[in-house]
Amino acid sequence: MRKRAAIYARTSTLDQPTQNQVYDLQPLARQRGLEVVKVYADQISGARARRPGLDPLMTDARQGKFEVLLVWAADRVARSVSHFLQVLDELHHLGVEFASYRESLDTAGPLGRAVVVIVAAIAELERSLITERVRAGLRRARLEGRRIDRPPLPVDRAGA
């Protein structure tokens, strides 16, 4: 009997399609002899722990609806190491394998699990560096006297 798989795809913004990730993951599932039973998708920041696609995925995992979770990249699941490890640990306890397309990772063995933890740490570092660069740019803009927030809206108080 073929193992049942779920696909989880996530992009950070609404203008990025999640379907690109799904197109890469479907052949991977066929190559491994997996039956894709459901695709879960989010178009929301990975920094959020609660997501409209991830929450039902975890509920279905708890109900035993699939044995393998396929993702395009480990950072699609979570941007913080603690959240990623929490998800990974719960999947492991539920007997759900985790496989990532980009990193060619599979948690079926202990080496794969160790590498996934390292990748998650790198994803968190990347997010921290991005945040640090944005804050430095905002500081520089303020010091140069540039307005960085939205301009005030003109209000016609006499006509209101």
Catalytic residue status for 12: yes
12, 82, 100, 104: the catalytic one is 12
Output DSSP code: residue 109: S
Q: Are 38 and 56 in contact (CB under 8 A)?
A: no
Cα torsion through 76, 54, 95, 62, rounded to 10: 170
CA distances from 114 to 14, 68, 105, 117, 150 (A): 32, 18, 10, 5, 45
The set of catalytic residues is 12
